[in-house]
Structure 1
Amino acid sequence: MIHPEQVADMLRPITSTLLPTATSVPGPVPTVIPTPTEYQTVGEAGRRTLWVTFALMVLSSGLFALLSWNVPTSKRLFHVITTLITIVASLSYFAMATGHATTYNCSTVWDHHKHVPDTSHQVCRQVFWGRYVDWALTTPLLLLDLCLLAGVDGAHTLMAVVADVIMVLSGLFAALGEEGKTAQKWGWYTIGCISYLFVIWHVALHGGRTVSAKGRGVSRLFTGLALFTLLLWTAYPIVWGIADGARKASVDTEIMIYTVLDFLAKPVFGFWLLLSHRAMPETNIDLGGYWSHGLATEGRIRIGEED
């Protein structure tokens, strides 16, 4: 006869395997804290750089104006153009240094996690659109300096200026393009690079042929200034691709590199042109009575002027 305690001992292993253990109890559901919006914005070093560059552009404008005092009004064309370049740059850098002429271009970045759904957050990079307004006004004036120095005809000068404006605006559209739309952002970048090739064609190549008629000295000056300018301008799209394009450089680094390029392409270019231009009378451009005296004096005899 089986004792009741033996039956209990026989059932004990079976029931223990049927009961849930402590390790089989489900744990808490894992949670993910969303990543806050990331801002790539200017820092203290970038702001100081903008203010220093503003001061240098103002100082350069004043020095260019002083250089024009002992030059006849009819032959101040290079001085006027070069001074306008740094004045516009001064206004642009003042706007950027005071926090104006800027916006944010935001893109969505997806964060991948284990065992839970993916999340996303916004990355917003500061874009100084005032820089592109500066370039759209000053780079055509720089090209005008080079074209006048080389004696390039009006048709090629106009085409170079138009190609240059398209190049700058394409860079602005690319900087404000959506990150997810590759064709939009990098398409504008490609258009800008193609436009730059047209600038080289109309100014460097065509100007190199026309300047030979002005003599060896002017040819050397134009060749030096043109190569200097085009090398600097080639660096701009490279910096753009690393900074605004791929976002691999900080905003402060972007500002510092652009300010160095702008200082070389504007004040340094201006001093090189004006100081060399003074020693070469064949570079002077006399625009006639309109530039010096206005249209009201046309047809009148002015004492002291050549027939």
Structure 2
Amino acid sequence: MDLFRRNNALNLNDNTVNGATADIAITTHGSDFYFAICAAMGLSGFIFIGLGYRKARRDRLFHYITASVVFVACIAYFTMGANLGFTPIAVEFPRSDPKVAGTYRSIYYVRYIDWFITTPLLLIDLLLTAGMPWPTIMWVVVVDEIMVITGLVGALVESRYKWAYFVFGCVALFYIVYQLAWESRIHAKSFGRDVERTFMMCGSLTTLLWILYPVAWGVCEGANLIAPDSEAVFYGVLDFLAKPCFGALLLWGHRNIDPARLGLAIHDYGDADAVVQEKKIKPETAASGATATHPDGYNGTAPHVDNTV
């Protein structure tokens, strides 16, 4: 039956692009894996959107951002599974291993298009969770874009100059890791233990996984050490953990966090008031001079962050 026939993508879309043929390319196994990750990304996106519709429109910001990440990744993985979105690039280091022997390797530029869109969204998810101000968020996003672009340029360079771009990207990554591991972590503490826990869980996962991406680049696009099928698994597992798993963890952490606490006072067109107001202190509490305390440690005195939308 047609429903169960073998993956035919590589027969329909061969390894030749503009007259050059990639002789180091994925097999049907790599294509199958890319399609499997594509399905996981798409399913995650619909689940995230479905969970968002259980909340008021003003509280769906993190659902929309996170769903956007996995939907973009879904399209990118479909493209790679179909053996499209790549260009043959001559390898700097020819190998004798039959799995990586050859002259031209498939470099999937569509992967970097995916990252150019999704990694800023992931950082926005994290930095908004930490209540970081917009100027800082925009600056970190620009550094992230530098990291992705230098990774793409390096992958497309055939000479040893590719490693200079690798270094540029690593420097950008180290700055992002510093922001997540230090400044944003400290800032998140000001908003209560529940916000701090959510940021720590998601920020730690992102930091650990993103440090592994340069390793993947080095053994795949850089040094031509592992086969394209293994490249598919390496990047695919990292992306699965960094996007659907990250998204599930983030949305679970945000389930009881009011976005207004993070400076995200969003007005819905059906609301009577234009700004979401903080809960008022009970009169008897105010009269006694006591301070109202959030059950998770938030005392209402977090630093003001104007991220009003």
With the shorter chain as reference, the TM-score category is 0.7 to 0.9
Aligned pairs (5 A) from 1:1-307: 39-107=23-91, 123-178=103-158, 181-182=159-160, 184-281=161-258, 286-289=264-267, 292-293=268-269, 302=272
1:15 matched residue in structure 2 = none
Unaligned runs of 5+ residues in structure 2 are: 1-20, 96-100, 278-309
Relative distance call for 1:104 and 1:209 in structure 2 (3 A) is same
| Contact residue 156 and residue 202 of structure 1 kept, 8 A | no
Structure of greater Rg: 1
| Contact residue 45 and residue 67 of structure 2 kept, 8 A | yes
| Contact residue 38 and residue 123 of structure 1 kept, 8 A | yes
Deviations 1:41-73 (A, max 9, x none): 011110000110111111001100110111111
2:54 is paired with a residue of what secondary structure?
coil
CA–CA distance in structure 1, aligned partners of residues 143 and 276 of structure 2: 39
1:127 is paired with a residue of what secondary structure?
strand
Aligned length: 251
Coordinate RMSD, CA, aligned: 2.5
Relative distance call for 1:220 and 1:288 in structure 2 (3 A) is closer
1:103 is paired with a residue of what secondary structure?
strand
Question: What's the CA shift for 1:146?
Answer: 0.4
| Contact residue 108 and residue 122 of structure 1 kept, 8 A | no
1:280 is paired with a residue of what secondary structure?
coil
Amino acid at match of 1:57: M
Relative distance call for 1:98 and 1:216 in structure 2 (3 A) is same
Amino acid at match of 1:64: F
1:39 is paired with a residue of what secondary structure?
coil
Question: What's the CA shift for 1:110?
Answer: 8.8
1:46 is paired with a residue of what secondary structure?
helix
Relative distance call for 1:107 and 1:265 in structure 2 (3 A) is closer
| Contact residue 157 and residue 203 of structure 1 kept, 8 A | no
Question: What's the CA shift for 1:288?
Answer: 2.7
Relative distance call for 1:262 and 1:304 in structure 2 (3 A) is closer
CA–CA distance in structure 1, aligned partners of residues 146 and 22 of structure 2: 32
Deviations 1:12-64 (A, max 9, x none): xxxxxxxxxxxxxxxxxxxxxxxxx8811011110000110111111001100
CA–CA distance in structure 2, aligned partners of residues 258 and 146 of structure 1: 21
2:296 matched residue in structure 1 = none
Relative distance call for 1:151 and 1:303 in structure 2 (3 A) is closer
Question: What's the CA shift for 1:122?
Answer: 6.5
1:125 is paired with a residue of what secondary structure?
strand
1:70 is paired with a residue of what secondary structure?
coil
Relative distance call for 1:230 and 1:73 in structure 2 (3 A) is same
| Contact residue 23 and residue 104 of structure 2 kept, 8 A | yes
After TM superposition, what 4+ stretches of structure 1 lie above 6 angstroms from structure 2?
108-111, 303-307
CA–CA distance in structure 2, aligned partners of residues 54 and 70 of structure 1: 25
**Larger fraction in helix:** 1
Amino acid at match of 1:92: A
Deviations 1:160-217 (A, max 9, x none): 1111111011111111101xx32x2000000000011121233331101211111112
